[in-house]
Structure 1
Amino acid sequence: MFYYLEGTVAELLPYLAVIDCGGVGYACKTTNNTLSHLKKGQKGKVYTYLNVGEGVFDLYGFATQSELHTFRMLLGVSGVGPKAALAILSTGTPDALAMAIITGDEKTLTAAPGIGKKIAQRIILELKDKLAKESAATGLDFSGNGTSVNAVSFTNKASEAAQALAVLGYSSAEVAVALKGVDVENLPLEEIIRQSLKKMVK
């Protein structure tokens, strides 16, 4: 229904941003990360997700498309609802979360309020499994020995970065383009992911 909202930031509260669009204030539930990108009284833009259910009509807003992708991805995990997804994304960036999933880092996930070890393990298991199925379906090789659809050579580090980007919802073609021109041999993994994300959200 809504792709994004752009207007004046009317109010900032814990886990909530109100965006004034033409005199109408849209209350968007959001993360600490997105709140840090917005300033009250100034122009702001958030990419939105509308959650509609029985007695529920909630609007969620995110500063970047990658954060929105990650939020949707988390909702696809059994037992993870919007509140838990927001908590997870409020304790770290999307690229940090993707790295935690790829490396099996439960501690990063359990740092979020209300996220226990069992849920953290389920997130890692289900999203890794989803990634494996998607890579098989798209032909993107994460083995470290293959090439992508655009013939980008994947070293082990580049392969891990590609997996993290795929976890965030990007296609094999998008991942291949994003990694082109990034110094995958010398940069740390987190910086490779960060630079690739910047290229995709431009």
Structure 2
Amino acid sequence: MYRYIKGVVTQITPQHIVVENNGIGYLVLSPIPYQYKIGEETTLVTYLHVREDLFSLYGFKDDETLQLFLKLISVSGIGPKSAMSIVAYDDSTKIITAIEQGDAKYLTKFPGIGMKSAQQIILDLKGKLVSDDLDVKLISDNSKDVAAALEALGYNKKEIAKAIKNVDFDQELDKALKSALSYLLK
């Protein structure tokens, strides 16, 4: 398994880039290959997908996008090609927000994702995309404000993450904060 590849971009096509490292050119499937420039040194976090007849190396600019890709391919009926089209199309935070809010219509705008697949993604991933240590971006401005307030009150990141998962952020900020505090004080 390759964790990352650091090298010089030598070729760009609509589906992949070639990254040369120590005289070896790695063909890396990329969600947005034209974000790179030929001759530019880059570091890609990678995922090696293995099938009986094919080894495919996928590369991403950051770990957050890779983690979202891995979660998406864990969904029944979503393969690497569909997951790539999703992470290529929009910002990870917007995709995570849509999944967490159950917005199937938003997910159907991605190529190859119908209503049935969108509902399966939501069913399988809702509540699983925000990590316990808050490394993944928080979903809304209100959740960021509540997390900052709880941190100022002395709560650790794990406690804050659990509270954030159990708060409805469609309500006003002060009510959301009260709700988070009541959850923590149980």
Q: TM-score, normalised by structure 2?
A: 0.70
Q: 1:22 to 1:156 in 2, by over 3 A?
A: closer
Partner of 2:27: 27
Partner of 2:52: 54
Q: Deviations over 1:69-103 (max 9, x none)?
A: 00100011111100010011111111111011011
CA contact (8 A) 1:91 1:111 kept: no
What SS is found at the alignment partner of 1:97? helix
Is residue 43 of structure 1 aligned with residue 41 of structure 2?
Answer: yes
* Structure exhibiting the larger radius of gyration computed from Cα positions: 2
CA contact (8 A) 1:10 1:40 kept: yes
How far residue 108 of structure 1 moved from its aligned partner, in angstroms, is 2.5
The one of 52, 62, 65 aligned to 1:64: 62
Partner AA of 1:22 in structure 2? N
State the distance in 2 between where 1:6 and 1:129 align: 33
Larger relative contact order (C-alpha < 8 A, sep ≥ 6)?
1
Report the count of equivalent residues: 150
Q: Deviations over 1:17-51 (max 9, x none)?
A: 1111111110111102xx35421111111100001
Cα RMSD for the two superposed structures: 3.3
The runs of 4+ residues in structure 1 deviating greater than 3 Å are none
Is residue 118 of structure 1 aligned with residue 116 of structure 2?
Answer: yes
State the distance in 2 between where 1:9 and 1:92 align: 23
Partner AA of 1:24 in structure 2? I
Q: Deviations over 1:37-67 (max 9, x none)?
A: 4211111111000011211211000000000
State the distance in 1 between where 2:44 and 2:97 align: 24
Is residue 158 of structure 1 aligned with residue 137 of structure 2?
Answer: no
Select between 6-15 and 61-70 the one with higher mean Cα deviation.
6-15
Select between 105-114 and 19-28 the one with higher mean Cα deviation.
105-114
Q: 1:40 to 1:108 in 2, by over 3 A?
A: farther
Q: 1:70 to 1:92 in 2, by over 3 A?
A: same
Structure 2: which 5+ runs fail to align?
135-139, 148-156, 165-171, 174-186
State the distance in 2 between where 1:130 and 1:48 align: 21
State the distance in 1 between where 2:13 and 2:143 align: 39
Q: TM-score, normalised by structure 1?
A: 0.65
CA contact (8 A) 1:37 1:63 kept: no
Select between 100-109 and 59-68 the one with higher mean Cα deviation.
100-109
Structure 1: which 5+ runs fail to align?
141-147, 149-154, 163-171, 180-184, 187-202
Q: 1:91 to 1:54 in 2, by over 3 A?
A: same
State the distance in 1 between where 2:126 and 2:104 align: 13
Partner of 1:4: 4
